[in-house]
Amino acid sequence: MLNTPKAGWLLPVLAFCSFLVGFDAIATVPLLPSISASTDMPLASGGLLYAGYAVAYALAAPCMGSLSDRWSRKGILLIGIVLFGASTALVGMGRTFAELMLFRVLTGIGAGMMEPVVYAIAGDAYAYDRRGRAMGIITAALISSSVLGVPLAGAIADFASWSWAFWIIASLAVIALAGAAAVIPNGAPNHGSPEFIAHIRLAFRDPSVFWSLLGSFLYFGALQGMFALTGVFYFTHYGLGSGETGLLLMAAGASSVAGSLLGGKWADRTRKQRVIAIAGVLSGLSVFALSLFIGILWVSVLLHIVWAALYAAGQSAFTALVSELDPRSRGTVLSLNSSAMYIGASALSALALALLGTGAFWPIGLMCGAANVLAAVIAAVAIRERGLAGH
């Protein structure tokens, strides 16, 4: 772990960067009607703003993660923050759908430079037996954006305009840039790291790295498969409007933050694999139960909150586990896993939407629950946990 006068600021700065990435990603959700009303963007095409962002993130992250292994994590992060902040400011100035799409793609590239490198810097700075807590805090910051981001972005749009929501995020990026420049140490972390193509080959040669990608695909995909249809679920079965569902999602988000923090600490006291196995299986059972036990609102809400906490606990442990699979290529491995998460989210969300055509939610719950359990089995059986000397 770093032992400098600035070391105490490292984790807050990394967490703040993570929060900004999450805030920006989710900010478009409540703003789509306002954006559509003041631009030529059709409201029905609003989802493409997130899709463009996610695809750009998934494609950029592996390249930038590999570059951070061979050049400088700090350099990649700083450039990413500049691109992220500038592109976000330009989104606020966009007045055509083409402009908005271009700027959101650029923002996704900036985010793809930031988030995996944030986790890689934490992996470099914190010993494995203390890394779960660090990853838990960073993940909690990312998740907290879902608690604060939607209502905050909506409030800004109501008070001023939708453009100001993006301009405020861009202003916060300037603060993140100053903090990262001041706190993060200089220097390339891994001299002599192999080239990008060699890193990609590693993903298919090292069984643990390969299985971690599949685990990330399934674990995050399981979350998004059900989460993407939350509004439909509560409207269909309980008649809840967007405001009521928003409050419920805020409660679930707060539960996720708590789960992430507690899961990180738990992972430092035992094997990360054990935490993933327990949290993954229980998370899978919870989301399946949520889709089955319909008719009593408080039961659904309780199951939703439990599911959110268990998922987040497992996610913190999973990130800490992955961060030690190949320390020499930590940036590449973590960025590949980030891409796998976004691809999994897109794939399982699309499958969930197709399953919704059956008229029932239990097939969606079964799919997401099975994905959670399978990811837990992969983490427990197929991935070799390294860095256990401190336990």
Phi, psi of 7 (to 5 degrees): -60, -35
Whole-number Å distance between alpha carbons of 384 and 206: 10
Check if 7-183 and 196-390 are the same fold. yes
Q: Which of 26, 160, 39 is nearest to 99 (CA)?
A: 39
Domain borders along the chain are: 7-183, 196-390
CATH classification for the domain delimited by 196-390, as one of 1.10.10.10, 1.25.40.10, 3.30.70.100, 1.20.1250.20: 1.20.1250.20
Structure-token pair, residue 345: 């989210």
Q: Which of 165, 164, 168, 187 is nearest to 176 (CA)?
A: 168
pLDDT over 90 percentage in the chain: 51
231 compared with 319, residue with greater pLDDT = 319
Whether the predicted pLDDT of 5 surpasses 50 = no
pLDDT level of residue 391 (50, 70, 90 thresholds): very low
Q: Name the CATH superfamily, with its identifier, for domain 7-183.
A: MFS general substrate transporter like domains (1.20.1250.20)
Give the mean model confidence (pLDDT) for residues 52-64.
88
281 compared with 206, residue with greater pLDDT = 281
Give the mean model confidence (pLDDT) for residues 138-165.
84
Q: What is the pLDDT of residues 60-74, one digit of tens each?
A: 988 888 888 888 899
Q: What is the pLDDT of residues 21-47, one digit of tens each?
A: 988 888 887 788 888 888 888 877 777
Whole-number Å distance between alpha carbons of 289 and 276: 19
Phi, psi of 350 (to 5 degrees): -65, -40
Whether the predicted pLDDT of 233 surpasses 80 = yes
CA end-to-end span of the chain: 16
Whether the predicted pLDDT of 12 surpasses 50 = yes
How much is the pLDDT for 358? 84
Whether the predicted pLDDT of 387 surpasses 80 = no
Q: What is the pLDDT of residues 169-181, one digit of tens each?
A: 999 999 999 999 9
Whether the predicted pLDDT of 194 surpasses 60 = no
pLDDT level of residue 390 (50, 70, 90 thresholds): very low
- Mean pLDDT (the chain) is 87
Alpha-carbon dihedral sign for residues 202, 204, 206, 209: positive
Q: Which of 84, 153, 169, 165 is nearest to 118 (CA)?
A: 84
